[in-house]
Chains A and B, each alone.
Chain A
Amino acid sequence: MTDVLGVLAYLLIPLTGIGVWRLEFVRRMPIAARIAIATAAGSLVVALVMATASLLHIEWSRGVLVTVFVVIAAVSVRLRPSPGLRPPSPRRGGERGHDVGTVILWLLTLYGTLTARESCGDLQFTWGPKAIRFVRAGGIDPNVLHTWPQLTVDYPPLQTLLLAWSNTLSGHFSWWSAVLAAPLFFLATLAVIRTWSRDALGTLLVAAALAWGFALAYPAGCAEPPLLLFETIAIAALTFENNPKAQTFFAALGAAGAVWTKLEGTTFAIAVVVTILVVQRNVKRALIVAAPAAILIGSWLTFIHANGLMYMYRGAKMPIYFETLPVVLRTLAKVARFDLLWLPWIIAIVVIALGNIRRALVPIAIALLTACATVFFYIHYPDPVWWIESSSPRVILTPLLALLIGAVAASDKVRAHGVVPQGKETEGSGREADRDPGRPLGQV
């Protein structure tokens, strides 16, 4: 029963984020993508509600949290205007087979999770215990963090709060629901890529590469699965979406979610903002995208600073050991082999080379920036080999994901997605805007 309720808690998350369905550019998406976007938004809503309750000294309980989330879901559904847009374009012939392949790869990941082949060690000695202690304290308790025996004291709270929500609903901590959240977020990630790219074959490649990456990196129960969903939403929106408002909204949602999910989420958000500035040359969008992420990470840093809990974030002040650079690069290259001679990377690069590289500039830029940020993290330790070997298989999933999205975007078959508002960026009214094949996406 604990596990059933624990999983139910995750399945209910999209309901708390269903408010995003009010947005016209979300409403025109297929149902799978809408649920995926609501999952990301809902994860952020759940985390924000639980954090706010803690700040207001409202003790978490099943009654309190369920009531708040039901009210949020009910208000969101009630305010949702009736759909009046055309349905998504029908599936092209021959794509069904690729979609079936994608589902098979997802089922394989689900199998790996259900048989404890992809469980993250950090779940049982970091994320899980912290969530359990928070639930027993009735909220984010600085006293729990003051006595926390690891450096992860000030780690961003979203993943811990999702686990705590599941724990609150189920009564006891469900370790199985914690790991099963991974395939759920993975499915949402694939739905987002499939919808925006409309490329079943490209999505199949992403599914295969990430299924293998998950099998090697053990992310189930850790923060990477939700992080990858947030990152996918930001990268894919900036790559495939033609509606400028939609691009900005989704990039902001992805960046905001990422900064509250992992330490590396902040460097991802910075990479997104830099990419918007350099590749899209859009200062206004960069500022709007950065704002929610900055507010969220600023709030968290204020909380941990005010309570004297700054540990990991203080790493920014640590000395840089440039002499470790060759070791860092060598060790990272070894891990990036993915036990398959770098195949996932090579395939992504080959597929980009076979298409139009300019279309993939946004994801390529983010892949390069996040890869550089990973190296930058690791050269802060005098002897980083163990640290790299234990953490980087999961950390490098971010640049790999970005590169894979680039591989999808580079294809000639992939069309931009989106309805441009009437009388604005295009001459058409509600007409789908196709891309200029030679121009990078996202510069409408």
Chain B
Amino acid sequence: MWRERARRVVIYAAVIALLAATVHRFRWLGGPYFEIPDTIQDHVWPDRFLSADAIVLSRRAEPLLPRDVRVTVIAPSQAPNYDQTHWLTGLGMLPRQNVVAPKFDDAAAMPDYVIAIRGSFEHPAYRLVTQFPEGALYGRQR
């Protein structure tokens, strides 16, 4: 009998602790708390992830990109070791284009367009197409 009582007490205490921890974590991740966010990555960390901007920028750039062009997504601040999850995000967001890995040292492998997350992309072969609040779109000069 005492075991069942002890079990009950232990479970109640654990549930309260786990519930409080979950609520605290959701609060720690930051607001707004009662709005459907713009992207599925908006609140996964207190600081906004670059990948959330990769999603938004891909959406913004898509109407400007011709079908089947080669495009990549990078955060210029990470050069030359770009986070591959950014261009892989573009793989899903830009299904009508040919999303490729960022390779800028081989002319044959260079993409036609570069979506740059936060910050400007400086490369002699590319010119600015348009600026967005979260970054910019660059096109290759022919």
Residues of chain A whose beta carbon lies under 8 Å from any beta carbon of chain B: 101, 104-105, 108, 111-112, 114-119, 121, 123-126, 128-129, 132-133, 136, 149-150, 173, 175-176, 178-179, 201-202, 204-205, 208-209, 211-212, 215-216, 218, 220-221, 339-340, 343-344, 347, 350-351, 354-355, 411-413
Query: In residues 37-79 of chain B, which contact A (Cβ within 8 Å)?
Result: 37, 39-44, 51, 55
Within the complex, which residue of A126, A201, A221, A412 is in contact with B88, where a contact is CB–CB below 8 Å?
A126
Residues of A contacting B43 with CB < 8 Å? 115-117
Residues of chain B whose beta carbon lies under 8 Å from any beta carbon of chain A: 3-4, 6-8, 10-11, 14-15, 17-19, 21-23, 25-26, 29, 33-37, 39-44, 51, 55, 85, 88-89, 91-93, 95, 101
A sample of 4 more A-B contacts (CB under 8 A), given A105-B15, A215-B21, is A108-B22, A115-B35, A211-B18, A344-B18
Residues of B contacting A117 with CB < 8 Å? 25-26, 29, 43-44
Residue of B nearest to A218 (CB): B44
Within the complex, which residue of A133, A204, A343 is in contact with B17, where a contact is CB–CB below 8 Å?
A343
Residues of B contacting A112 with CB < 8 Å? 22, 26
Secondary structure class of chain B's binding surface, majority of residues: helix
What are 25 A-B contacts defined by CB distance under 8 Å? Answer: A108-B19, A108-B22, A111-B26, A112-B26, A115-B35, A115-B36, A116-B41, A116-B43, A121-B85, A124-B41, A124-B55, A124-B89, A128-B92, A133-B95, A201-B7, A201-B8, A205-B15, A208-B19, A212-B21, A212-B22, A215-B22, A215-B25, A340-B17, A351-B7, A354-B6
Shortest CB distance B132–A (Å): 19
Q: Are A411 and B55 interface neighbours, CB within 8 A?
A: no
Residues of A contacting B91 with CB < 8 Å? 125, 129, 133, 149
Q: Are B3 and A354 interface neighbours, CB within 8 A?
A: yes
Residues of B contacting A123 with CB < 8 Å? 40
Secondary structure class of chain A's binding surface, majority of residues: helix
Q: Are B14 and A205 interface neighbours, CB within 8 A?
A: yes
Residue of A nearest to B49 (CB): A121
Within the complex, which residue of A212, A350, A411 is in contact with B18, where a contact is CB–CB below 8 Å?
A212
Shortest CB distance A116–B (Å): 4
Distance A209 CA – B17 CA, assembled complex (angstroms): 10
Distance A412 CA – B93 CA, assembled complex (angstroms): 52
A116-B41, A124-B41 known; A204 vs B15 contact (CB < 8 Å): yes
Distance A115 CA – B40 CA, assembled complex (angstroms): 8
Distance A411 CA – B43 CA, assembled complex (angstroms): 38
The 6 closest A-B pairs by CB, nearest first: A125-B88, A129-B92, A129-B91, A208-B18, A119-B40, A347-B14
Residues of A contacting B88 with CB < 8 Å? 124-126, 129, 149-150
Distance A141 CA – B120 CA, assembled complex (angstroms): 37
Residues of A contacting B29 with CB < 8 Å? 117
Q: Are A412 and B3 interface neighbours, CB within 8 A?
A: yes
Q: Are B18 and A204 interface neighbours, CB within 8 A?
A: no
Distance A208 CA – B17 CA, assembled complex (angstroms): 9
Within the complex, which residue of B18, B40, B44 is in contact with A343, where a contact is CB–CB below 8 Å?
B18
Residues of B contacting A173 with CB < 8 Å? 92, 95
Q: Are B92 and A343 interface neighbours, CB within 8 A?
A: no
Q: Are A124 and B8 interface neighbours, CB within 8 A?
A: no
Q: Are B51 and A124 interface neighbours, CB within 8 A?
A: yes
Distance A178 CA – B131 CA, assembled complex (angstroms): 30
Distance A340 CA – B17 CA, assembled complex (angstroms): 9
